[in-house]
Amino acid sequence: MHSTLHRAVGLVPILLALHTPAFADTVYLNNGDRISGTVSGITAATIRITTDYAGDLEVQRAAVFALDTDGSFAVQLEDGTTVEGPLTLQGGTPGVETAAGFQPASMTGLVATVEPETAEEEKPSIWSGFVESGLTVRSGNTDTIDFSLKSSAERAGEWTKLTLTLGADYGEAESVINTRRYKGEAKWEGYLTERFYLLGLTSAEQDDGRKLDLRATVGAGAGYIFIDNETRHLSLEAGVEHTWERWNPFTPQERTDTRNRIRNDAFQRLATFAGEIDGEGGLDPSRWNELRLIFLDIREPLRNYETRENDFFGVRITGEFTQQLFTDSTLSEKVVVLPNLEDFGEYRLINELAFTTPLTKALSLRASLESEYDSLAEDSDVEAWNHMLKTGLRYEF
């Protein structure tokens, strides 16, 4: 009988332990009460504790005598020193269990506390961006199959952003190079508010297929973000820029054909000239200049063709729109209008329409149509419109 009673009494603590929830932390109040739960936040004025029976509770620091926690806290004491470790109550004295041992620390002596180390947020990467490559089908001034490569790196601060972009296109037609295009751009943004920002922009571009030897621009302006959420983005920029251009008289194929034609003609003239010298029995001094011109045509066949240069101020207006489609895919469009301030009838228009869908977390499939119009293209004897359809892979980092 007694042994049975003893066994029954011995089961009571075990049953109570199984029935009682296992709380990690305890808050000891000045009036002797206790609150069991998980300490989820400590500020200079309050302590937040999460419970199973009442959710989140906030208790005034002045009403708390001590804490007993499993998690580590960094505690700054009244003398300015900082200790780290679980908060605890030993022998009626509150404190912190540090690596060096127990450190008494009354709640009234604490001047600041922070969240546990496990609650620290991961610092964002300084640089982000993408590398993109793929196949280009171009129709316009030249019909080619091109290889394209583009990369962009962005460094964002609290109120500033720097973006560096490089791109290249290369193409051949029947083993003849007809496309060589390179472009680099640097853009700085300084935010005055969350949506309004100032910007500076500089770029350099070469496009042999359109007879552009070099275009360099530098400008400044401002932008405003009208919409910016998880599914949609809409922004508009406007500014003034200075442009300097140098145009070649040839495309790559025209340059090769003209050079070969002039040299072949010069070699034929040289052969005729040599035969005439043999027939005369020597070189007439009056024909030295004729011989010199023949050798110049062989050595510098394109010396008589000059480049054309433009230098002007213009306006840059840029609109960007992005819309999320389906779950993760996006449709984006960027439109840039570049009128000449000296003559608004002269302008360039650039439009890029792109569709991007992710394959993995970092890899995406991207298809884009880039169109460019130049009202002065006829001055260089090239097509006004130039279109590039690109499909490729984009890797984001």
pLDDT at residue 124 is higher than 70:
no
- Mean per-residue pLDDT over the chain, rounded: 82
Q: What is the pLDDT of residue 116?
A: 43
Q: What is the pLDDT of residue 32?
A: 81
One-letter identity of residue 191: Y
**Paired strand residues for 201:** 187, 219
CATH tag, 127-249+308-396:
2.40.160.40
Q: Please tell me the pTM assigned to this model.
A: 0.62
Under 8 Å between Cβ of 343 and 313: no
In the chain, the percentage of residues whose pLDDT exceeds 90 is: 37
Q: Which helix (H) or strand (E) holds 145?
A: strand 144-156
Q: What are the residue boundaries of the structural domains of the chain, listed by start? A: 2-119, 127-249+308-396, 252-299
Say how many C-beta atoms besides its own lie within 10 A of residue 51's C-beta: 14
Most confident range, picked from 4-18, 117-131, 226-240: 226-240
281: confidence class by pLDDT, cuts 50, 70, 90: low
Tokens, residue 137: 């089908």
Whole-number Å distance between alpha carbons of 199 and 222:
6
289-311 mean pLDDT = 88
For 179-196, the pLDDT digits (tens) are 789 999 999 999 999 999
Under 8 Å between Cβ of 160 and 191: yes
Whole-number Å distance between alpha carbons of 3 and 284:
141
Q: Which value, in Å, is the radius of gyration of the alpha carbons in the chain?
A: 38
Q: What is the pLDDT of residue 357?
A: 94
Whole-number Å distance between alpha carbons of 129 and 148:
17
pLDDT at residue 11 is higher than 60:
no
Whole-number Å distance between alpha carbons of 394 and 273:
60
Whole-number Å distance between alpha carbons of 378 and 52:
77
